[in-house]
Chains A and B, each alone.
Chain A
């Protein structure tokens, strides 16, 4: 079945550091890929999506490029701020039933001033 892997459970950075959170997937065809962000006490919020190879998604300074060759959708930001501290989830649109999204395990980002 489809799966999403986020290798970093936690990432600690200083403000203005460069961020990379890795996301790899396994699925048939071209699943839609997503990034969501979750702040404490809230539900996940959609960041952006990409649906085809080489498509770049972006929002609020975050970006990721759909790479079918390496089956990846890594999240990057050039300069993080303390307000970016949150949990980030990579997700894919399930290709078998096509009716729901499967989430990775999440990466907790902590940014210190």
Chain B
């Protein structure tokens, strides 16, 4: 059984629209992350949350907003979508959020912006 569930697996959007990527983890971890993978920048860190608080944000654009409604949820809202946002978005988790812990990744959401 997958311990980190990302929905949907594939997502097609039109330029200018808004989408929400869902992530739930069932590992009992307190830290969650978003990474983006594209041909241009493989596995680029976006956000880290620990105990539902934002720890780090390396995303330049405010169009990307993480949302943590529950301890084991970290959704990613993307507004005003652009073709350059096309990528696979991976959610990850770790026990407490310190950088020497192994990360557990979901299978990703592949976003295509037309």
Contacts and interface: CB of A to CB of B under 8 A. Distances in A.
A88 B18 CA distance: 33
Contacts of B90: 43-44
Contacts of A97: 55-56, 99
Interface stretch (A12-20, A63-71, A72-80, A100-108): A100-108
Interface residues of B, number: 26
A99 B104 contact: no
Interface string A77-113: 0000000000001000111011111110110000000
A41 B107 contact: yes
Interface residues of A, number: 25
B97 interface: yes
A42 B107 contact: yes
Contacts of A32: 99-100
A45 interface: yes
B76 to A, nearest CB: 15
Contacts of B106: 43
B107 A100 contact: no
Given A34-B102, A43-B108, A89-B43, 9 more contacts: A43-B105, A43-B106, A95-B99, A98-B98, A100-B33, A100-B55, A100-B58, A101-B99, A103-B45
